[in-house]
Structure 1
Amino acid sequence: MTVGRVGALHRYPVKSAGGEALRTAQVGTDGLVGDRIWALLDDDGVIVSAKRPRPWGRLLDVTARVNALADEVTVCVPDVADTAAGSPEANGALSQWLGRPVTLTRTVPPQPVLHRWWPQEPGMIPDWVTNAIPGTATRTALPTPAAGRFFDGGTVHLITTAALAALSGRHGAAVDPRRFRPNIVAELPADPRPGQRLRIGPEVVVEVTLPTPRCAVPGLDHGGAAPDGLLRTLARYHRAEIAPFGRATCFGVYAAVVTPGRVRVDDDIAAV
């Protein structure tokens, strides 16, 4: 039964950098081809993440796109000529932009950890994190559900227009979906539930795994949005249970790919 359609597709070739809007995407068993295949490492070998806004929030102003014909990723740093990911020029431009030495890598470290900052807004720290101090920086382990990808917790991230509309109403202003860095913006009447399967277009089937816990990133200045207290709105209205761990502030859902294939903007979405 058709329940909605694909409103937008996004891919983020470099973790925590701005992505690219797509009209069509190939989806493999480990998510959108080309999604989060590169990341930056600091000089301690820790994965750079805008989850720690200082000093890494400026990475959100960098964009990246996949050049499929050349099998490479182009990195676009503001006011600098485009460079190829993995090149000394890209590392130099990114280091200068961020104010610290960084190196792009496609190799996920054996025990990956990333930079994170715990927001001060009440409710933004998940129940299962018992030793976090609001307003402090830390390092946390990076789950690796797919080899060679820098994912936080799911291979596909989906948000719905219904949830966006409700959030915008509660927030008192339109919320740009790019603040949540989704792969798929789905025109659905409600968020799908964990365990629910969706057919997206004629080929792809995904299964929802869990709600997406939110970090500091949606509250940062990026995607055309300025900081505006969005985290407070999220924490007030979007606490969700993630069994068996406890409650967290969530928006959107993670999904696993059951059947790979190609998806396109305007494809039908069906419950299966």
Structure 2
Amino acid sequence: MWTVVALWRYPLKSARGEALKAADVEWTGLRGDRTWACIDPLDGTVGSAKQPRRWGRLLDVGTTMRDNGPETMVTLHVDGTSVRAGSDAADVALSKHLGRPVRLSRDLPPDARLHRTLPDDAGMVPDWMDAARPGQETITAIAGAGRVGRFVDFGAVHIVTTGALSLLGERMGGVRVAAERFRPNLVIDAPRDPEPGQELRLGDVVLRVVLPTPRCAIPGLAQAELPADRSVLSTLARHYRVPVAGLGRAACFGTYADVVQPGQLRLGQLVH
């Protein structure tokens, strides 16, 4: 039987996640997940560690969220200081930490876009970006902004499985690969990833798998206690290029899912 072995939410896009024992799941994903983002005041783009030179240090920023009735309060932990998201102090602290002026926002830009630097391995460049070169910086739309209404890349919920992580580790020479590298919402103890179109029932929550998750540079970056490891990306490029929703092939790991029925999730939840 499949079970949920980890739950994560990321109140600030590209910042460190918050491990949970239980989570409310809304139509748009885990409550509080990726509801805030850094906005570059110079061009209006959304801050993402997909462009490590500009935004990689977001991965060092901690986050905690506290529910207060219908509202939530997100606290950021930046260089030993705790500040409330939405305050002037948070903008100042993040601007100093990142070395560039930023402002925090919960409002999605009408044309949400982000800077990204493509990995150096050609196998990490998806077919639908065939005009781009490895290592090139480009600006792309955030598809999940329109689909979900949050600062998510595509689906409302991101899933990885223990079986897929184990196989990736074998292909990397028998190492343990931490799920945190892939910034999932759910880690499911299962021998393989669910297929697009499958529905997963987790208690009263129902998720529908949409497509495999195309990967960017982030899994190879240093994150929290995890050191940088570019071999993750080279292994994905060699072994994980698969078709994605008629768009062509891309190096993918994990799956995106949409919410069919909201409810509450908890650690140890059985998955049918």
Are 1:178 and 1:223, in contact at CA under 8 Å, matched by a contact in 2?
A: no
In 1, the alpha carbon distance for the partners of 2:225 and 2:8 equals 16
RMSD across aligned positions (CA): 1.0
| 1:222 equivalent in alignment to 2:251 | no
Question: Match for 1:109: what amino acid?
Answer: P
Out of 14, 30, 36, the position equivalent to 1:38 is: 36
Q: TM-score, normalised by structure 1?
A: 0.95
Percent sequence identity is: 50
Q: Does structure 2 retain, via aligned residues, the 8 Å contact 1:198–1:269?
A: yes
Partner of 1:24: 22
User: What is the correspondence of 1:12-91 to structure 2 with a 5 Å cutoff?
Assistant: 12-43=10-41, 44-69=43-68, 71-79=72-80, 81-91=81-91
Matching of residue 117 in structure 1 with residue 123 in structure 2? no
- Letter of the 2:197 counterpart: G
* Offset, 1:134: 1.3
**Whole-Å separation in 1 of the counterparts to 2:160 and 2:135:** 27
Q: Paired residue for 2:266?
A: 264
Question: How many angstroms does 1:78 deviate by?
Answer: 2.2
Matched, 1:170 2:171: yes
Give the TM-score normalised by structure 2: 0.95
Structure 1, gaps ≥5 residues long: none
Looking at secondary structure, tell me which structure has more helix per residue. 2
Match of 2:99 in 1: 99
The DSSP-based 3-state class of the residue aligned with 1:191 is: coil
Q: Which residue of 2 aligns with 1:187?
A: 189
Q: Deviations 1:38-88 (Å, cap 9, x if unpaired)?
A: 000112211111000102111001011111136210011123x20000101
Q: Deviations over 1:111-151 (max 9, x none)?
A: 1111111111121010111221211211111112122x101
- CA-CA distance at 1:98 after TM superposition: 0.5
Alpha carbons 1:122, 1:232 under 8 Å: kept: no
C-alpha contact 1:12 1:19 (8 A) present in aligned 2: yes
Q: Which amino acid aligns with 1:115?
A: H
State the distance in 1 between where 2:111 and 2:27 align: 22
How far did 1:109 drift? 0.4
How many corresponding residue pairs? 265
Spell out, residue by residue over 1:186-207, the C-alpha distance to the aligned partner (whole angstroms, 9 max, x if none): 001111000001101x200101
Match of 2:136 in 1: 136
Q: Could you tell me whether the CA contact under 8 Å between 1:219 and 1:231 is conserved in 2?
A: yes
Contact 2:45 2:112 survives alignment (8 Å): yes
Aligned counterparts of 1:250 and 1:224: Cα–Cα separation in 2? 24
Q: What is the distance in 1 between the residues matched to 2:92 and 2:176?
A: 37
Unaligned runs of 5+ in 2: none
Deviation at 1:210, TM superposition (A): 0.1
Matched to 1:113, the amino acid is R
Query: Aligned letter for 2:164?
Result: A
2:213–2:255 contact (8 Å) kept in structure 1: yes
User: Which secondary structure state, in structure 2, belongs to the residue aligned with residue 128 of structure 1?
Assistant: helix
